[in-house]
Amino acid sequence: MCLTFFPTFGQRTSVIDNKAVKFEITQENDSINFIVVDTVLTQMKPVFLWCQGSLSYPLFVQNDNGEIYMFGGGISNFDISNITKYYHLVVISMPKVPVVAAEKDLIDFQYYHPNSDREEKKEFWKADYLENYVERANIVLDFLREQSWVDNSKLVVVGHSQGARIAPEITLKNRNITHLGLSGANPFGRIDQMIRKARKDAESGKITWEEAEKEMQSWYDLYRDAYNSQEVDKKPFLISWKSFSEPRIDEWVKINIPIYLFYGTADVTSDLCDIIPLYFIAKGKDNLTIKRYFNLEHNYFEMGENGVPDWNKPHWVEVMNEFVEWTRK
Residues 12 and 138 in one domain: yes
How would you class 82 by CB atoms within 10 Å of its CB: exposed for 0-12, middle for 13-18, buried for 19 or more?
Answer: middle
Cβ 100 vs Cβ 35: under 8 Å: no
Domain residues for 149?
3-187+247-328
Cα 321 to Cα 86, 163, 254, distances in angstroms: 12, 18, 27
Residue 7: predicted pLDDT: 33
> What rounded mean pLDDT belongs to the chain?
91
Percent of the chain with pLDDT over 70: 92
228 and 269 part of one domain: no
- Last residue of one domain, picked from the residues 199, 214, 243: 243
300: DSSP letter: S
DSSP output for 159-223: EETHHHHHHHHHHHT-TT--EEEEES--TT-HHHHHHHHHHHHHHTTSS-HHHHHHHHHHHHHHH
Span 194-221, pLDDT tens digits: 999 999 999 999 999 999 999 999 999 9
Asked whether residue 174 falls in the same domain as residue 218, the answer is: no
Same domain, 125 and 206: no
Looking at the 3D structure of the chain, how many domains does it have? 2
Q: Are residues 234 and 141 in the same domain?
A: no
Q: 74-101, pLDDT tens digit by residue?
A: 999 999 999 999 999 999 999 999 999 8
pLDDT higher than threshold 80 for residue 327: yes
Q: What is the CATH number of the domain that holds 286?
A: 3.40.50.1820
- Cα distances from 310 to residues 292, 297, 307, 319, in angstroms, run 18, 10, 9, 17
Does residue 108 register a pLDDT over 70? no
Residues 73 and 162 in one domain: yes
pLDDT digits (tens, 9 = 90+) for 15-27: 998 999 999 998 7
**Distance separating alpha carbons of residues 4 and 12, to the nearest angstrom:** 11
Amino acid at 283: K
- The answer on 84 and 11 residing in a single domain is yes
Residues 84 and 228 in one domain: no
Rounded to the nearest 5 percent, the helix, strand and coil shares of the chain are: 40, 25, 35
- 178/137 same-domain check: yes
Q: pTM, whole model, 2 decimals?
A: 0.92
Averaged pLDDT, 236-252: 95
Same-domain status, 206 and 82: no
Chain-centre distance for alpha carbon 224: 25
Q: Are residues 70 and 214 in the same domain?
A: no
